A and B are shown apart, each in its own frame.
Chain A
Amino acid sequence: MDLKEKLVSSFLAFEDGLDLDNPVHEVRSAAIKNFEEKGFPSKKEEAWKYTSLNSIQKVDFSIFPKKETALEYKDIKKYFLHEIDTYKIVFVDGVYSSYLSETTHDGVDVCLMSSAFSKPMFRQVIEVYFNKAASKDESLTSLNTAFSKEGAYIYIPKNKMPKKPIQILHLATGNEAALMLQPRNLVVAEDNAEVQIIERHQSLTDNEVFTNSVTEIFAGKDAIVDYYKVQNDASTASLVDNTYISQKDSSVVRVHTFSLGGKLIRNNLNFYQNGERIDSTLKGVTILGDKQHVDHHTLVHHAQPNCESHQDYKGIFGDSSTGVFNGKIIVDKIAQKTDAFQQNNNILLSDKATINSKPQLEIFADDVKCSHGCTIGQLDEDALFYLRSRGIPQKEAKALLMYAFANNVLESVRIPELKARINKLIADKLGVRVGFDL
């Protein structure tokens, strides 16, 4: 039985354990229908031209983990940003771990989707926001919607700001030979609210994990949302990360994606600007080796006038890794005075590495400033020579230059400890210690 059949047939069993009177039930049913019709995307589809999910579909994943696993904080401490105090929402094999988590209802709601689905006090928010930004057409998003049950639920009311950043950690213990996870997150920042979120997926063993995650983010007027995605998973973990962001007037949403590990990562990052004077920032650093594959698929839809978007993706590709960047900017007829910028710079370190880049512009308004740039090249020989002539060994010199290359993206990280952590991860990835933080 292939994965699609398995998923479709297990949907009934999944629904059995849930409240069928809940309005979400209909959303799920419609979603599974769409997935059944469309199936997994194939390379024949333009959006999946460079990324194949064939190998994933051959694996016999367990869809519902059988037992809970207790983990000790000290074993997983390193996956947290433990230097600062944060709210934590931790899932172990897709199941919420209250022991490792720290949630709150003090002024803001930082809790679980499962309770948001079931408790009447959250019903209104779920009705207004759940599945409103996510695509009803895209098959993997539908698949997630159909099985949406657990994930992080973050609700920040008007003019509020949580006391500390929020960390979402998904851990896979490896108790199952192959595990499929489908977390579903909802982040709502009402007018003038602010929130910082760090999300990480981590597999603790070499057993295969496939995560199909969907996050919906709603930013009200003047709201500020910072979302950091740290992707540094084991080389047997695959991740399809779908993020849908809906912004209102004068809101600011920044999404940083750090792709440093994993077998196959596909990031679908979609911004919908439903108001004026919106600022959207999409940044990413990708450093890959081995046979890793990362596909950044971004969409910024400018639907209203006077908005801005900034995209900056840097990639360094070694060994037999593959990098894909597919960025799309759509500017509607009425979205005059749009300022959209998109940049994708890549460095290839090996002859077996591949980069496929497809920056697209679709523009229907005339009074706009839209540009994109894409480069593929090597480290500057002169700069390398300069450093080496000053006594810096080749390896360190190269790493320094790569740091500098990626630094643009790190600059806008607003949590210093996170920045330091990412710096360290990059240093580890490059295999050097440069002896200072950038």
Chain B
Amino acid sequence: MAYTEEELKKELETKEYEYGFYTDIESDTLPKGLNEDIVIAISKKKNEPEWMTEWRLEAFRAWQEMEEPEWANVTYKKPNFQDISYYSAPNKKPKYNSLDEVDPELLDTFKKLGISIDEQKKLAGVAVDIVMDSVSVATTFKKTLAEKGIIFCSISEAIQEHPELVKKHLGTVVPKKDNFYAALNSAVFSDGSFCYIPKGVRCPMELSTYFRINQAGTGQFERTLVVADEGSYVSYLEGCTAPSRDENQLHAAVVELIAMDDAEIKYSTVQNWFPGDKEGKGGVFNFVTKRGLCEKNAKISWTQVETGSAVTWKYPSCVLKGDNSIGEFYSIAVTNNFQQADTGTKMIHLGKNTKSTIISKGISAGQSQNSYRGLVQVSSRADNARNFSQCDSLLMGNRCGAHTFPYIEVKNKSAQIEHEATTSKIGEDQIFYCNQRGIDTEKAIALIVNGFSKEVLNKLPMEFAVEAQKLLEISLEGSVG
């Protein structure tokens, strides 16, 4: 019994953002502001073909007509879109053959983050495409992937080298006019990842990208496109950490997944953007549009561990278009201090015999607000659709809030939908039980939280599960008494 509740709370509050540092790399940054010239300039800088420039401009024009959404259960000072620089790339951008050639300062950054490229290469067999301020710097394991015909590169590279694939799929799942932030992203996206798995290929390793926001006042607009052709399989990992900043930073990413007939995509995220300090100052705004399209017998599985960001607005969705397709969503969202999260999923059942599962675990502590917002929609043609949703919230302290906003819209009589939600705190009897068996309160809490999130943690690939568990501990240890 080393801790009292007060002590634990105090320790938690003073827990500074561990990854809050700033790497001084010369950046090639465009002037602040957004207009058609900037959009054209971004496109030019990236040496993009004309159709791409035109595509961006169309999105930009649509964006100008749109209004920022206000329905989410979050409050924040709206970013001034004219006060953001829409492009920044590390200046020194040579091609590397080995890690020795990489800017040592950059490597140092990764070391602080605990990402050892060597180690990952050797141990985990993960190909890491590191995106630092929007431009991909190092790509590994490309060769192994190339042998299988798998394309895994930055999206700007893909636009150059595989324009036909990009042109065919970009914006098909998240149309460029989909919503305010998706339109903004479509107009100004600087970089991101592109992945194509050919027919019948099972990707031999977990693909992963690390995103970081580095340059002060730089918005980050990632664009990810994953295409799994018929009968293929890919597991994609995405993890984020961002350095400490006083000024709010905007992150508006778009992720599109396309799973063709019989394909399977597993998309896992660990998000740990800077959440702001304990007074709620600073932190990243995370406004993300993630959506996957399932063709016949395809499966898309979203797994996310959200611990960071001051404001999160994120709904990874599945459009179950093909018959017998499956959508899954596993999420842990942790909010502390003044963090606000409004996250959830959408499962759109269009095809017959489609199935979806939603497991969402929300943990709120401090003065944070944590909302689950989800939609399960069954169209009149979607016979035998099946959905199971479970949203559990854990509250720690009486200054935080947990909210559930599920929308269920069913137009088919053969649909079977189950939704359940619970809100509770860690039971005193649970802690007592552990204490009784010689487990101290803090360990007991860790144990219980771990058990609470287990269903989701289990869905993460090995490499991530460890990291995610660590993150949960950092975010939560000592926040209950």
Contacts and interface: CB of A to CB of B under 8 A. Distances in A.
Interface of A: 46, 333-334, 336, 346, 348-378
Contact of A354 (B393, B411, B414): B411
A333 B423 contact: no
A334 B400 CA distance: 12
A371 B391 CA distance: 9
A368 B423 contact: yes
Contact of A364 (B380, B400, B412): B400
A363 B405 contact: no
A364 B403 CA distance: 8
A370 B406 CA distance: 15
Interface of B: 71, 380, 393, 395-425
Contact of B425 (A356, A368, A375): A368
A359 B397 CA distance: 24
Contacts of A336: 398
B403 A359 contact: no
B425 A371 contact: no
Given A354-B411, A360-B404, A375-B417, 12 more contacts: A333-B399, A357-B407, A357-B408, A357-B409, A358-B408, A363-B402, A363-B403, A367-B398, A370-B422, A371-B421, A373-B419, A377-B415
Contacts of A350: 413
B404 A366 contact: no
Given A46-B71, A371-B423, A372-B421, A366 B396 contact: yes
B interface secondary structure, majority: strand
A348 B71 CA distance: 30
Contacts of B425: 366-368
Contact of A363 (B71, B408, B423): B423
A369 B424 contact: yes
Contacts, number: 120
B409 A354 contact: yes
A170 to B, nearest CB: 33
28 contacts: A346-B410, A351-B412, A352-B380, A354-B410, A355-B410, A358-B405, A358-B408, A359-B404, A360-B404, A360-B405, A361-B404, A361-B423, A362-B401, A366-B396, A366-B397, A366-B400, A368-B424, A370-B422, A371-B420, A371-B423, A373-B421, A374-B408, A374-B420, A375-B419, A376-B410, A376-B417, A377-B415, A377-B416
Nearest to B411: A354
B479 to A, nearest CB: 11
B166 to A, nearest CB: 37
Nearest to A377: B416
Nearest to B71: A46
A349 B420 contact: no
A375 B399 CA distance: 32
Contacts of B399: 333
A360 B412 contact: no
B418 A372 contact: no
B408 A355 contact: yes
B403 A360 contact: yes
Nearest to B385: A376
Contacts of A361: 393, 402-404, 421, 423
B403 A362 contact: yes
B422 to A, nearest CB: 4
Contacts of A334: 398
Nearest to A49: B407
Contact of A365 (B398, B409, B420): B398
Contacts of A374: 406, 408, 417-420
A324 to B, nearest CB: 10
B406 A360 contact: yes
B423 A370 contact: yes
A378 B422 contact: no
Contacts of B420: 371-374
3 closest residue pairs by CB, A with B: A366-B395, A376-B417, A348-B413
A280 B221 CA distance: 49
A370 B395 CA distance: 11
Nearest to B373: A360
Nearest to A353: B413
B449 to A, nearest CB: 14
A371 B390 CA distance: 11
Contacts of A352: 380, 411
Contacts of B406: 357-360, 374
A349 B413 contact: yes
Given A359-B421, A365-B398, A366-B396, A376 B404 contact: no
Nearest to B403: A362
B423 A378 contact: no
A352 B424 CA distance: 38
Given A363-B423, A366-B398, A370-B422, A378 B417 contact: no
B414 A356 contact: no
B398 A372 contact: no
A374 B114 CA distance: 43
Contacts of A357: 406-410, 419
A348 B410 contact: yes
Contacts of A362: 401, 403-404
Contacts of A368: 395, 423-425
A119 B71 CA distance: 47
Nearest to A360: B405
A374 B358 CA distance: 14
Indicate the member of B403, B419, B423 with the most A CB atoms within 10 Å. Answer: B423
A375 B393 contact: no
A363 B393 contact: yes
Contact of B415 (A358, A364, A367, A376): A376
Nearest to B420: A373
B374 to A, nearest CB: 10
A333 B419 contact: no
Nearest to B425: A366
A377 B399 CA distance: 38
Given A352-B380, A358-B407, A371-B421, A363 B395 contact: yes
A364 B398 contact: yes
Nearest to B392: A371
A353 B413 CA distance: 7
Contacts of B423: 361, 363, 368-371
Contacts of B415: 348, 376-377
Contacts of B411: 351-354
